[in-house]
Amino acid sequence: MRHQRSTEVSTVKKPVNSDQQGKIAGLAVVVMAAGLGKRMRSKQAKVLHPVAGQAMVLYSVGLGLRVAGDCVAVVVGHQADLVRQVIDRATSRKTGGSPVAIVEQREQLGTGHAVLQSRPVFAVGKRGAPSRYLILNGDTPLLQEKTVRELLRVHEAECATVTLLTAVLADASGYGRVVRAHSGERGVSRIVEDRDANAEEQAIREINVGTYVVDGEFLFSALEQLDPSNAQGEYYLTDIIHLAQHSGQRVAAVVLDNPDEGLGVNTRLQLAQAEQVVRQQIRDRWLDAGVTMIDPSSVWIDATVTIGKDTILYPNVTLEGVTVIGEDCVLHSSTRLTDCIVGNGVEILDHCLFAASHIEDDAHLGPFVHLRPGVVVRKKAKVGNFVEMKKTDLGEGSKANHLSYLGDAKIGKGVNIGAGTVTCNYDGVQKFQTVIGDGVFLGSDTQLIAPVTVGAGAIIAAGTTVTEDVPADALAIARAPQVNRAGWAARRRALQTSATRETLNVKREPKPSGRMKKRLPVSKGRQVKKGSRG
Ligand code: UD1
Ligand code: MG
């Protein structure tokens, strides 16, 4: 990163005063998030669009909290309630309440006007007022904390009034251009917005990233002087740079080494670009933390996911939401987990879909398992081929390995769920619970009509429909008794064979008249009554 300023260059690397958690004393953060984002062509406010599963605005808010602790204000406007909810949900503490102050910009009159709305949050002009403000756009999700800390360091080292972050792009269109003095140290003299720029200014490739550090005493007095006579009729925050420079204040700038970091998301294309970059960063972070990925580029991990060491992710694994994966797990191909907690040593075979479920240590699942919200798979339990579960607790060491539906069920330890077991939990109006005690053996093709309880150690014979509670250690069997008719099948085959022969013989003869046709024998085996199929 290079830094430049309008006056002399300081060479002293003075660290910014921060506490043990890296929170910088006297710093306040303002995040601008009130705009609609017209260029997104969306019904949803731009800052709510997710990047790696997390609303865009939360990247700036998270960064603000990391550098400034509790002193963070977010300016909301479009879909204010929704944006507020998303921020509250993501930042609320266990003790209650969010450390983020939300202020509303009722009319979106520009970025300068947006920041001005945050004044009531801070004790401006009083003792304890922030000595400097870090101002962030809500649409720059790629910005890194170390860059912001460098910006703050340069601001302090140079005793600047305004320090801004810039990037040099091959295609600068759409961004505010950084206009520098023609001579001397070529310090920043102003920012000109794309729509206000003349041809010469449009040719400038250095852009304003939308990240600024501004002196506490200067900020709000400068904002009050903004004038909206520009192409958009807006109060541009960027005009404070010219105001500072014009009144002889120091303006410093830090140029990004990696211009990608300065990407401002205004369009769907930029959203897709941001997504790719963030996904790559997340994968790199987990690879670095000891997670194996067989084909990293095909693995999708949301920003909010945590993965333990020595876990192996096969191709096309997707981990979404607040998912936590333990150590030594193996997740095979094409599996998607959303908001799940997975213990250590869990193996998940191919093609599984899990949502809001909890899987304990050493459990084994898949292939083709669907866990809907509210499932707990206890230690060493096994769930296999084509099993669907919902709001069900499968006890330690229990097995449901084939073709079953288990919904609203509490299943004990060491239970065998036979192939094709169905908990009939819904009567068309209400849902009911099935309780299965420890050590129960359910034979194949069993239906349990809930509410029903099967006592510990009971055996349910294959093909049974359980309609009443089964006492512990009992055998429940409910199916029509079997009848064996000696020789019946052979006689049927013989009959069928002779009928077929007759039919074939007749077919070789000349075509019968209409009257004869009626009398021809028909094979009984081929008769199908109209409407008799299930
Ligand atoms: C802004 C900068 C531009 C810079 C670019 C970097 C200004 C005037 N321009 O342009 O120099 O190159 O970011 O990405 O600042 N917002 C509000 N209230 C408003 C208007 C906007 O809160 O009245 C918020 C938006 O929600 C967004 C941020 O401010 O998070 C930036 O607004 P946007 O419209 O994206 O500005 P750009 O045109 O990208
Ligand atoms: Mg923008």
Question: What is the pLDDT at residue 512?
Answer: 52
How far is the centre of ligand 2, averaged over its atoms, from the C-alpha of 265 (Å)? 6
Bridge partners (DSSP) listed for residue 409? 392, 434
Question: What is the pLDDT at residue 270?
Answer: 97
Kindly report the protein residue whose alpha carbon is nearest to atom 8 of ligand 1. Answer: 236
Question: What is the pLDDT at residue 8?
Answer: 33
| Burial readout 178-215 (b: 16 or more C-beta within 10 A, e: otherwise) | bbbeeeeeebbbbbbbeebbeeebeebebbbbbbbbbb
Q: Which pair of structure tokens corresponds to residue 492?
A: 């049927």
Kindly report the protein residue whose alpha carbon is nearest to atom 25 of ligand 1. Answer: 35
**How large is the average pLDDT for residues 487-510?**
85
pLDDT band at 510, cuts 50/70/90?
low
Least confidently predicted of 76-80, 368-372, 462-466, 502-506:
502-506
* φ, ψ dihedrals at 50, nearest 5°: -80, 145
Q: How far apart are CA 268 and CA 39, in angstroms?
A: 8
Q: Which pair of structure tokens corresponds to residue 494?
A: 């013989």
How far is the centre of ligand 1, averaged over its atoms, from the C-alpha of 137 (Å)? 6
**Which of 42, 115, 39 minimizes the C-alpha distance to 77?**
115
Flag whether pLDDT at 246 surpasses 90: yes
Write out pLDDT tens, residues 128-171: 899 999 999 999 999 999 999 999 999 999 999 999 999 999 99
Question: What is the pLDDT at residue 281?
Answer: 96
Question: What is the pLDDT at residue 513?
Answer: 55
How far is the centre of ligand 1, averaged over its atoms, from the C-alpha of 236 (Å)? 9
Q: How far apart are CA 396 and CA 507, in angstroms?
A: 66
Q: Which residue among the candidates 242, 332, 364, 402 is catalytic per the annotation?
A: 402
Flag whether pLDDT at 517 surpasses 80: no
Is the separation of the CB atoms in 149 and 44 below 8 Å? no
Is the separation of the CB atoms in 459 and 475 below 8 Å? yes
Write out pLDDT tens, residues 24-60: 999 999 999 999 899 999 999 999 999 999 999 999 9
Write out pLDDT tens, residues 395-429: 999 999 999 999 999 999 999 999 999 999 999 99
Helix (H, G, I), strand (E, B) or coil at 11: coil
Residues 6+ apart with CB under 8 A from 234: 109, 110, 111, 112, 113, 228
Count of other CB atoms within 10 angstroms of residue 372:
16
Question: What is the pLDDT at residue 169?
Answer: 96
Q: Which atom of ligand 1 is nearest to the CA of 46?
A: 26
Q: What is the DSSP letter of 78?
A: T
Question: Which ligand has the shortest distance to the CA of 37?
Answer: 1
How far is the centre of ligand 1, averaged over its atoms, from the C-alpha of 249 (Å)? 24
Kindly report the protein residue whose alpha carbon is nearest to atom 14 of ligand 1. Answer: 264
Q: How far apart are CA 400 and CA 408, in angstroms?
A: 15
Question: Which ligand has the shortest distance to the CA of 104?
Answer: 1
Q: Which atom of ligand 1 is nearest to the CA of 78?
A: 26
**Which of 325, 323, 315 minimizes the C-alpha distance to 293?**
315
Q: Which residue has the tokens 């707990």?
A: 376
Compute CA 306 distance to the chain's CA centroid, rounded to the nearest angstrom: 12
| Burial readout 74-111 (b: 16 or more C-beta within 10 A, e: otherwise) | bbbbbbbeebbebbeebbeeeeeebebbbbebeebbbb
**How large is the average pLDDT for residues 212-219?**
97
Residue of 44, 104, 111 to mutate, ligand 1, most atoms within 8 A of C-beta? 111
**How large is the average pLDDT for residues 318-331?**
98
Kindly report the protein residue whose alpha carbon is nearest to atom 35 of ligand 1. Answer: 266
Question: What is the pLDDT at residue 533?
Answer: 34
Q: How far is CA 195 from CA 322, 349, 423, 443, in A?
A: 41, 54, 64, 73
Q: 440 versus 504: which is more confidently predicted?
A: 440
Question: What is the pLDDT at residue 508?
Answer: 61
Flag whether pLDDT at 509 surpasses 70: no
Is the separation of the CB atoms in 228 and 175 below 8 Å? no
Paired sense of beta strands 162-168 and 132-137, if any: unpaired
Is the separation of the CB atoms in 236 and 112 below 8 Å? yes
Flag whether pLDDT at 532 surpasses 70: no
Question: What is the pLDDT at residue 507?
Answer: 63
Count of other CB atoms within 10 angstroms of residue 328:
16
Q: Which atom of ligand 1 is nearest to the CA of 32?
A: 22
Flag whether pLDDT at 515 surpasses 60: no
- Asked if the peptide bond before residue 296 counts as cis, ω within 30 degrees of 0, the response is no
Task: Give me the percent of the chain exceeding a pLDDT of 70.
Answer: 92
How far is the centre of ligand 1, averaged over its atoms, from the C-alpha of 321 (Å)? 28
Mean pLDDT, all residues of the chain:
92
Compute CA 224 distance to the chain's CA centroid, rounded to the nearest angstrom: 40
For residue 368, with 0-12 CB atoms within 10 Å meaning exposed, 13-18 middle and 19 or more buried, which class applies? middle
**How large is the average pLDDT for residues 327-337?**
98
How far is the centre of ligand 1, averaged over its atoms, from the C-alpha of 464 (Å)? 66
Question: What is the pLDDT at residue 525?
Answer: 41
Count of residues for the chain?
534
Question: Which ligand has the shortest distance to the CA of 38?
Answer: 1
Question: Which ligand has the shortest distance to the CA of 238?
Answer: 1
How far is the centre of ligand 1, averaged over its atoms, from the C-alpha of 98 (Å)? 25
Residue of 30, 31, 32, 42 to mutate, ligand 1, most atoms within 8 A of C-beta? 32
Task: Identify whether 78 is a catalytic site residue.
Answer: no
Question: What is the pLDDT at residue 530?
Answer: 39
Q: Which long-range contacts (CB under 8 A, 24 or more apart) does 327-334 make?
A: 332/366, 332/367
Question: Which ligand has the shortest distance to the CA of 226?
Answer: 1
Is the separation of the CB atoms in 263 and 277 below 8 Å? yes
How far is the centre of ligand 2, averaged over its atoms, from the C-alpha of 41 (Å)? 14
Q: Which atom of ligand 1 is nearest to the CA of 236?
A: 8
Cβ < 5 A residues, ion ligand 2: 139, 264, 266
pLDDT band at 10, cuts 50/70/90?
very low
Domains of the chain: 11-262 (3.90.550.10), 268-476 (2.160.10.10)
Q: Which atom of ligand 1 is nearest to the CA of 232?
A: 8
**How large is the average pLDDT for residues 241-257?**
96
DSSP notation for 180-226: E-SSTT--EEEEE-GGG--HHHHT--EEEEEEEEEEHHHHHHHHHT-
Q: Which atom of ligand 1 is nearest to the CA of 45?
A: 26
Residue of 38, 76, 104, 137 to mutate, ligand 1, most atoms within 8 A of C-beta? 137
Flag whether pLDDT at 526 surpasses 90: no
Q: Which atom of ligand 1 is nearest to the CA of 108?
A: 23
How far is the centre of ligand 1, averaged over its atoms, from the C-alpha of 130 (Å)? 23
Flag whether pLDDT at 110 surpasses 60: yes
Q: Which residues does a 6 A CB cutoff place in the pocket of ligand 1?
A: 32-35, 47, 75, 77, 105, 108-111, 113-114, 137-139, 175-176, 191, 193, 207-210, 236-238, 264, 266
Q: How far apart are CA 394 and CA 487, in angstroms?
A: 46
- Whole-model pTM above 0.85? yes
**How large is the average pLDDT for residues 456-464?**
98
Flag whether pLDDT at 14 surpasses 60: no
